[in-house]
C-alpha cells in the first residue's frame, strides 16, 4: 500500500504554486480538497507519495511559503480516514 502525504497551506495560491513547482521537478503531485480531518487549511492541499517526501520537503524550503502549516499522512483504518502529522 502506498502512503500518501499531503502538504497543507492556509493560502490557495500557495497550494497551487507548490503543486506546480513539485511537478516541474518531476514529483507526481496533485491538488485536492483538504480533508476536514486535518482541521486546518484553505480548502486545498497538495498530495504526493511518501517516497517523494525528501524531494518535496527540499522543494518546499526553496520557496517562500508563508502559509504552509505542515505535512500530514493520510491513511484509512476500518474504512475511516485518519490524517495525522507526518514526522519522518
Q: Give the CATH class of 4-80.
A: alpha beta
Domain residue ranges of the chain, discontinuous segments joined by +: 4-80
Query: pLDDT tens-digit profile of 50-82?
Result: 999 999 999 999 999 999 999 999 988 888 888
Please state, in angstroms and rounded to a whole number, the distance separating the CA atoms of residues 56 and 45.
13
CB within 8 Å of 13: residues ≥ 6 apart = none
Please state, in angstroms and rounded to a whole number, the distance separating the CA atoms of residues 4 and 63.
22
pTM (2 d.p.): 0.90
Q: Which residue has the cell 491513511?
A: 75
Give first-to-last CA distance, the chain, whole Å: 18
Please state, in angstroms and rounded to a whole number, the distance separating the CA atoms of residues 16 and 31.
7
> C-alpha grid cell for residue 72?
500530514
Query: pLDDT tens-digit profile of 3-55?
Result: 899 999 999 999 999 999 999 999 999 999 998 877 776 789 999 999 999 99
Amino acid at each position: 500500500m502506498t502512503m500518501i502525504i499531503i502538504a497543507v497551506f492556509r493560502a490557495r495560491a500557495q497550494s497551487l504554486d507548490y503543486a506546480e513547482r513539485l511537478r516541474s521537478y518531476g514529483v507526481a503531485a496533485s491538488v485536492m480538497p483538504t480533508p476536514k480531518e486535518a482541521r486546518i487549511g484553505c480548502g486545498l492541499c497538495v498530495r504526493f507519495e511518501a517516497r517523494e517526501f525528501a524531494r518535496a520537503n527540499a522543494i518546499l524550503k526553496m520557496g517562500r511559503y508563508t502559509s504552509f502549516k505542515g505535512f500530514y499522512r493520510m491513511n484509512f483504518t476500518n474504512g475511516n480516514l485518519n490524517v495525522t502529522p507526518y514526522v519522518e
